[in-house]
Amino acid sequence: MGSPKHLLATLQGAKQDRPPLWMMRQAGRYLPEYRALRETKGGFLELCYDSDAAAEVTLQPIRRFDFDGAILFSDILVVPHALGQDLWFEAGEGPRLAPTLIDTSLSALEAAPQRLNPIYDTVAKVAAALPSHTTFLGFIGSPWTVATYMVAGQGSKDQSLARRLAYRDPKAFQEIIDAIIDVSVTYVSGQIQQGVEAVQLFDSWAGSLSPAQFDQWVIAPNAEIIRRVKALYPDTPIIGFPKGAGSKLLSYAAQTGADAIGLDETVDPHWAHANLPAELPVQGNLDPLALVTGGDALDQAVDHILAAFPDRPHVFNLGHGIVPDAPIAHVEQLIRRVRG
C-alpha cells in the first residue's frame, strides 16, 4: 500500500489532523528552476504543449516543497484553441485569441481537438512520476471565464464585451457556452483517463456578473459539466472556484454539485464555515500578498484561516495564484505554519 493521499481524502470529505496544502500557480515564475527551463523553451504556449517540459514544470514544486497536490501545468485557453481559435501570448501583455467572437460566429471556427493531445501526454508523464502520497489535480477554465476571452480576444478588467453580448444576444452566447461545455467534458475526461485524480474548475471572472447572470452563465454551465463528468467518473472529486462570487458562493455550492468549494481571499473564512453546508470541503484562502509580505503578517493570516475550519474538511491554499515576486523563504514559512 502506498502512502495516504491526504488531499484526495479531504476532497472526498475526510477531516484531517492538519489540512493538506497546495498553491494555485505553484508551478511557475516564482521558482528559479521554472524560469531557467522557460528560457530554454521560448514562449509560454510552447512550454504548455511540450509534454516533457510541462511535466517537468508540474513536478518542480513537488520536488522542492512536497506539496500534497500537484496541479497540471497548462492554460485555460487551450480549450478555445481546440475549438479553432488561434492562440498566442504577447510578451508582457498576456494571451490573445483570434478571430474574436464579438466579430465572428462560432460556426466559422474549425475545431482542432488534436491540440489537446500533448496535454494528455503531459498528464500521463506526471502521473507516472509523482510520489505515491501526492494527489494529481487537473483543471479547466469554466465556461463563463473562457467565453470572455473568446469573445474579446483577450482579458479585460470588467469583461464588458462578453457581458454585453450575453445581454444582447443570449442565444448566440449560449451557443458559445455550450461549445465550451462539450470540449471541457471531453478534455476533463481525457485528463482523468491519463491519471488526474481530482479536477478544479477555475471561474476567474465570476465576480463581474449580476446575480441573474451568475445563475445563467456560472452556475448552470458548471453544473452541466459536473453532471456529465460525474456520470462518467463518479469518484473523481471536482473543486469549484468561482472567484469573486461573494455571497453567491452559497447558491453555487447548493446548485452545481461541486465536491469542494474554493474560496478567494476576499471571503471571510469564518463566514464561509458558518454558511456553507456543514460537511462540504472548502479550499483556501490566503491572500497571495500576505505570502509576499511574510513575517508576522503571514503567520497571523494563516492562523486566522486555520481557526475557521476546525470541524470541516479543509484544503489550505491561496485565495488566487501565487505572484511571481513571492519569496521562496515565505513559501517555506507558510508550509511550516500550516503543517505545524
Catalytic residues: 25, 29, 38, 75, 149
Sign for the pseudo-dihedral over CA of 284, 287, 288, 290: negative
Assess contact for 239 and 11: CB atoms under 8 A.
Answer: yes
Beta bridge partners of 136: 70
**Angstrom distance (rounded) from CA 5 to CA 22:** 13
**Angstrom distance (rounded) from CA 58 to CA 71:** 6
**Angstrom distance (rounded) from CA 192 to CA 176:** 24
Q: Can you tell me which residue has the cell 512550454?
A: 47
Residues in CB range of 81: below 8 A, 6 or more apart = 87, 112, 115
Backbone angles phi and psi of 144, in degrees to 5: -60, -50
- C-alpha cell of 106? 462560432
- C-alpha cell of 314? 479543509
Sign for the pseudo-dihedral over CA of 310, 316, 320, 326: positive
**Angstrom distance (rounded) from CA 80 to CA 101:** 11
**Angstrom distance (rounded) from CA 96 to CA 145:** 14
Q: Could you tell me whether strands 94-98 and 86-90 are parallel, antiparallel, or unpaired per DSSP bridges?
A: antiparallel
Assess contact for 252 and 261: CB atoms under 8 A.
Answer: yes
**Number of Cβ atoms within 10 Å of the Cβ of 166:** 23
183 residue type, one letter: V
- C-alpha cell of 19? 489540512
